Amino acid sequence: MLFRSDDVLAGDTDDVFMFDGAIVDAGSGDISISADGDIRLGQVVTTSSLSTALTLTTTSGAIVDGGDTDTDIVVNTGTVTIDAVAGIGSGDALETSIGTLDADNTLTGLIELSETDGLTISHINQGSTKGITVSAGGDVLVNGTGITLSGTTTDTSADIQLTTTAGDIDVQSAIANQNLSSSADVTLSAGGATSDISVSSSLTGNGAMSLL
């Protein structure tokens, strides 16, 4: 299932806009949504377990939560690939239920995700100087190329925060905060009475490192 919004006139910026309560359900098929401007999500659903299950791409805009009626992204076993320029859930976290996340944001805005259960993060790169916040209701595995905040211009809000409310955090690939601020922290917080944090790769940054 393919949705595309392209410029037809120089200077135009076309958005994809889903109203709150709107649902795109591809069954077991893949979904690809692309725009030059913002992509505003109601709910997108697929049972695909492929690495191409859901692709969201904007060349100049943000991926935006279009409302709280439904979970924004439901891809329980497949990979969700997000490429944005101006933020991913910035200021209003995307609610997700996904298997694996691969996300890039290049210029401005936050990356904010709220996952209902467990999550594998195979890649996050934040080119903005703003933070990365991922919260999950289950176990979180960081593998692949890991998590990088690569925006180096000093910004006191350039934190990486990875939190579970009831699950382990297993860091098998590097988490790197490259922002030059001394307040650019890395925080891993595993909630739940029996939850653990396991780190078998590197945690680097110029701010505080907290494992809670």
**pLDDT tens, residue by residue, 41-91:** 999 999 999 999 999 999 999 999 999 999 999 999 999 999 999 999 999
Structure confidence by residue, pLDDT tens digits, 118-169: 999 999 999 999 999 999 999 999 999 999 999 999 888 899 999 999 999 9
Residue 187 vs residue 193, higher pLDDT: 187
Residue 4 pLDDT > 60, yes or no? Answer: no
Among left, alpha and beta (phi > 0; psi -120 to 50; other), residue 84 is beta
Q: Centre a 10 Å sphere on the Cβ of residue 32 and count the other Cβ atoms it contains.
A: 16
Q: For residue 13, is pLDDT > 80?
A: no
Count of residues making up the chain = 212
pLDDT of res. 59:
94
Residue 8, pLDDT score: 41
Instruction: Tell the burial category of 8 from Cβ atoms under 10 Å away from its Cβ (0-12, 13-18, 19+).
Output: exposed
- State the CB neighbour count (10 A cutoff) for residue 68: 11
Integer-rounded Cα radius of gyration of the chain: 17
Average pLDDT of the chain is: 93
Q: What is the pLDDT of residues 20-35, one digit of tens each?
A: 999 999 999 999 999 9
Q: What percent of the chain has pLDDT over 90?
A: 89
| pLDDT at site 156 | 86
Confidence band of 95 (pLDDT split at 50, 70, 90): very high
